[in-house]
Amino acid sequence: GAVVSQHPSRVICKSGTSVKIECRSLDFQATTMFWYRQFPKQSLMLMATSNEGSKATYEQGVEKDKFLINHASLTLSTLTVTSAHPEDSSFYICSAAGQGFYGYTFGSGTRLTVV
């Protein structure tokens, strides 16, 4: 149980375009989802926390208008990188938590490359 599916696993896009990443909890209802960014050889950096049906809470320094997060249902959250630039190239990972505490299951990550 507690499976989180993240798509796409890797995407290459042109500078100036937008990219959407999906995170789905397959066998539980995710009341809270988290989006992380990870640079090479570094730890996970929390970008934002989203609760179903409400606006996401962004960490300091993360641009809300650039990284749009939607958590419209208990099984789906999306991260849209708008007007992507090469510096947005990174590994993005979501995680989900249900009622109580289930150890925060992570998605398999999305490698974004902006050219």
Partner 1 sequence: GQQLNQSPQSMFIQEGEDVSMNCTSSSIFNTWLWYKQEPGEGPVLLIALYKAGELTSNGRLTAQFGITRKDSFLNISASIPSDVGIYFCAGYNNAGNMLTFGGGTRLMVKP
Which residues bind to partner 1, rule: CB under 8 A? 4, 6, 9, 32, 34, 41-46, 49, 59, 91, 93, 95, 97, 101, 103-109, 111
Q: What is the DSSP letter of 56?
A: P
Looking at the Cβ atoms of 15 and 99, the one nearer to partner 1 is 99
Encoded tokens for 44: 């996970």
Q: Select from 89, 96, 67 the least CA-distant residue to 80.
A: 67
Q: Which is nearer to partner 1, 49 or 82 (CB)?
A: 49
Q: How far is the CB of 93 from partner 1 (least distance, A)?
A: 5
CB of 16 to partner 1, least distance (A): 26
Q: Which is nearer to partner 1, 52 or 82 (CB)?
A: 52
SS percent in the chain: helix, strand, coil, step 5: 5, 50, 45
In terms of Cβ atoms closer than 10 Å to its own Cβ (0-12, 13-18, 19+), residue 65 is exposed
CB of 112: closest distance to partner 1 in angstroms? 13
